[in-house]
Structure 1
């Protein structure tokens, strides 16, 4: 059986390609002995298949940024699909289905164009992810979709190679729960993996955080991510920073109001003094 399978592999992979006229196409192996031809073509085919599995399907995963008068968002938001936006769940009644995470609509609405171009970059196969994304985004806020074939296979894992995005990495934020799933750690904002809890509000907080970064016109988002990567829960850290900022702003307003009232009181005393004089 092994001999038969090996012979079939050599015959199917080692045969020369045939042209429209039915004749074999001449290649770099055509002048070699027949057995050597078939062995080398088979070896080349196996290497090509291995490279196709391990490397992204193309060098530039996204088209070039558009030029004026068209609008190119200044930042790129890269989102994993599974356990970030949806969660697979199996029940006797429905079988396998994907639950939509609370806050997906909020995130896409507040972090879509013109602030971010939104890219789904997932380890899922295209035939699985495509209808899910269609259901999540009926308004077309997700501009690009990248599937498993565009990842790089490294040490048994499919890794998102952000250097192939054809974008300036100073403006790219990648959201994923897997610490090993992204090639550029400085662009990776790691969230906790969603387990299907429908009371979760992390995407709402994430939307507020990303919108704050974009509206602040940060020149290099990696510096912001470097700071938040030091926390186990970046969203909780952002929420605390926002609270402290609001308290500081309120304290400044109160101080200004007190100074205004003090000046008003002093002015009234001086005016009263001069009237008496």
Structure 2
């Protein structure tokens, strides 16, 4: 049921200007929706806010043919981790609040929180097409019949159908949040409806209606800045992007629901909300979650499949702390020794303990030597690589599949398998006071990294597993680095920028050689030195070294 003011304007995307393609898709969807309404496909007069996209402008799960929401894990599409990081970085750079209203000059829409919910986040729930669908027409499929008195002389009958899994969803969120019902509908309709849905009042009594919305042009907007709550602790679930126009980073988009009995959107949101409840701020979860949704939309018609990046984002409430907002400190290494480069990096550190140092650059810039020098210069200094984590996942996947008489293939790496394997790999501080990656809590990866994890079979299957577990391994690595740093370790991560963006640290250094020709010469020199070392012994004289270097060049030219 629609309480909107009719408009031809295209609804703003949940992250304004995120891409021309996304904006184009939304315009097409809105045009289609308006055509449906013109044909009389949408009835009612009490419902929610404006410009709602009936085709599901944004949603918690992928859509399958026929417009319904896919319930099969196999229907999920695959997002590459670097792509996800870039999109999340974009979202994090967007403002948290674009409301034109000075909230401090207005009374709060909500009273002070009760003691029982004072330390909980505030969850705003929309009603129409989010939790229920209402109509003036009796279609024979409804859960509640509401006789509504519009005024003394006007009475109407409203028939309300509940979205599948509604009560299970409400029972899940009630203990986790301060729940507020916020609808652009009239209170004469929504109050008796919510009384019928929430008979035990497990959601509390906080309800806001049309009169609490801000009118923007021809639409109703729910301005979260006026609630009287810290925006970092507020999230809204709404099927209409216009509803959260001023606080788009606080949104949990959901498809509009009308009558699909197979819909599982509310179930899919439960793990998202569990993660949200435990996060420091809602943005820790929602920026990454919405990055995934946006990429899903962009790829929806391309035939690509998404991986279980969803697990990496949400399982275990890890929150996927993946982005650094700081600029990279570029160090021109031309004419500098490795020790001089190291001294510059050490001088830039805030202390000598607990640093997470990101060292990136192309091959030939001296990253490896600089890492060695840093390890000598800093106490409790370790390096981190995700290589053994990928190998651990591969080993455990092979163990499970081999017992079933199967091999590792893209098809055999189901979400259920990857989820179970993820739980078997942990990073803990052991009795010896050292941190170790553990398999099943008993086997140290350090003890098997050169044996079980490097058999020809495991090595050959690592690329297949890595393709589907980038998100999980990124999450694991970020968590491990955070633990090490908190314990006072200096952690160095070395590699290319594309593989390091997921670690949050302001200490980012890139070794650069502006002259490409010089970079090529350094790479060649490294190859010659490596070959010469194979031909020399420790007792070689300077003259012998010179001769061997020439011979090494000749040998490499012949290869």
Query: How would you bin the TM-score normalised by the shorter chain?
Result: 0.5 to 0.7
Give the secondary-structure state (helix, strand or coil) at the position aligned to 1:142: coil
Q: Distance in 1 between matches of 2:109 and 2:256?
A: 26
User: Could you give the per-residue CA deviations for residues 177-203 of structure 1, whole angstroms, max 9, x where no partner exists?
Assistant: 111111211111111111221221211
- Which residue of 2 is the match for residue 76 of structure 1? 122
Q: Distance in 2 between matches of 1:209 and 1:78?
A: 14
- Which residue of 2 is the match for residue 189 of structure 1? 252
Q: Please tell me whether residue 121 in structure 1 is matched to residue 182 in structure 2.
A: yes
**RMSD of aligned alpha carbons:** 3.0
- Which residue of 2 is the match for residue 212 of structure 1? 275
Q: Please tell me whether residue 248 in structure 1 is matched to residue 422 in structure 2.
A: yes
- Which residue of 2 is the match for residue 65 of structure 1? 113
In structure 2, do the counterparts of structure 1 residues 248 and 76 end up closer, same or farther at CA, with 3 Å as the change threshold?
same
Instruction: Flag as ranges the 4+ runs of structure 1 deviating above 2 A.
Output: 70-73, 89-96, 231-234, 236-247, 250-260
Q: Distance in 2 between matches of 1:93 and 1:103?
A: 19
Q: Distance in 2 between matches of 1:237 and 1:126?
A: 40
User: Could you give the per-residue CA deviations for residues 210-258 of structure 1, whole angstroms, max 9, x where no partner exists?
Assistant: 02221x3x12112321111123369x96357445564322345745445
Q: Is the 8 A contact 2:424 2:441 kept in 1?
A: no
C-alpha displacement of 1:74: 1.4
Q: Distance in 2 between matches of 1:110 and 1:224?
A: 18
Give the secondary-structure state (helix, strand or coil) at the position aligned to 2:263: coil
Q: Distance in 2 between matches of 1:238 and 1:155?
A: 37
Q: Distance in 2 between matches of 1:205 and 1:221?
A: 17
User: Could you give the per-residue CA deviations for residues 92-148 of structure 1, whole angstroms, max 9, x where no partner exists?
Assistant: 5587411011222122212113x2011110010000111110111111122211000
In structure 2, do the counterparts of structure 1 residues 220 and 93 end up closer, same or farther at CA, with 3 Å as the change threshold?
closer
- Which residue of 2 is the match for residue 141 of structure 1? 202
Q: Distance in 1 between matches of 2:441 and 2:139?
A: 63
- Which residue of 1 is the match for residue 150 of structure 2? none
In structure 2, do the counterparts of structure 1 residues 162 and 237 end up closer, same or farther at CA, with 3 Å as the change threshold?
farther
- Which residue of 2 is the match for residue 153 of structure 1? 215
Q: After the TM superposition, which residues 100-111 of structure 1 pair with which residues of structure 2 at under 5 Å, given as runs? A: 100-111=162-173
Give the secondary-structure state (helix, strand or coil) at the position aligned to 1:118: strand
What count of residue pairs does the alignment treat as equivalent? 201
In structure 2, do the counterparts of structure 1 residues 86 and 169 end up closer, same or farther at CA, with 3 Å as the change threshold?
same
In structure 2, do the counterparts of structure 1 residues 258 and 196 end up closer, same or farther at CA, with 3 Å as the change threshold?
same
Question: Which runs of 5 or more residues in structure 2 are unaligned?
Answer: 1-100, 142-156, 298-307, 316-414, 427-437, 449-559
Output the TM-score relative to the length of structure 2: 0.33
User: Could you give the per-residue CA deviations for residues 75-108 of structure 1, whole angstroms, max 9, x where no partner exists?
Assistant: 1000100011101243355874110112221222
Output the TM-score relative to the length of structure 1: 0.64
- Which residue of 2 is the match for residue 172 of structure 1? 234
1:229 to 279, 290, 295: 290
Q: Distance in 1 between matches of 2:259 and 2:140?
A: 17
Give the secondary-structure state (helix, strand or coil) at the position aligned to 1:229: helix
Q: Distance in 2 between matches of 1:239 and 1:96?
A: 40
Q: Distance in 1 between matches of 2:280 and 2:419?
A: 21
Q: Is the 8 A contact 1:209 1:238 kept in 2?
A: no
